[in-house]
Amino acid sequence: MEQAVWERAAVGQGAHLGMLRSICNALFLSVYHGPNAYDVMRRVNFRALSHEDIRSAIGAALLGREVRHPTENPAPPASRFRTGLRTTRHYTAALNSFGIKT
């Protein structure tokens, strides 16, 4: 389960960074998906590490200056175009269209 979640998150992050690169013509990197990140994540006891949000401190240590984050998720509202399309019925129909039996 741990490996599956890691790989799926990395794939999503990679697609997102690739999209940013394509529209900004600049390379975007994620420190959370470097070659040694997985091994570090597996060995850290996050509950013992801190009882507060340390992302800004990590960013400052990596960048060498203050890093600011949005106070809330700036995600756009749900798409009306996709309303009703995220259903099990649509998912299984898509799989079946590729010859994958469900």
Report pLDDT for 65: 93
Distance CA 13, CA 1 (A): 18
Report pLDDT for 1: 64
Ranges of each domain in the chain:
2-69
Query: Angle at the Cα of 31 (from 28 to 35), degrees rounded to 5?
Result: 105
Q: pLDDT digit string (tens) for 14-27?
A: 777 788 888 888 77
Distance CA 81, CA 53 (A): 36
Torsion sign over Cα 36, 38, 44, 49? positive
Q: pLDDT digit string (tens) for 4-15?
A: 766 677 677 777
Q: DSSP E strands: which ranges in the chain?
A: none
Report pLDDT for 95: 83
Amino acid at 34: G
Q: pLDDT digit string (tens) for 26-72?
A: 777 777 667 677 788 788 887 888 888 888 888 899 889 998 877 78
Residue 33, number of CB atoms within 10 A of its CB: 15
CA 30 to chain centre: 10
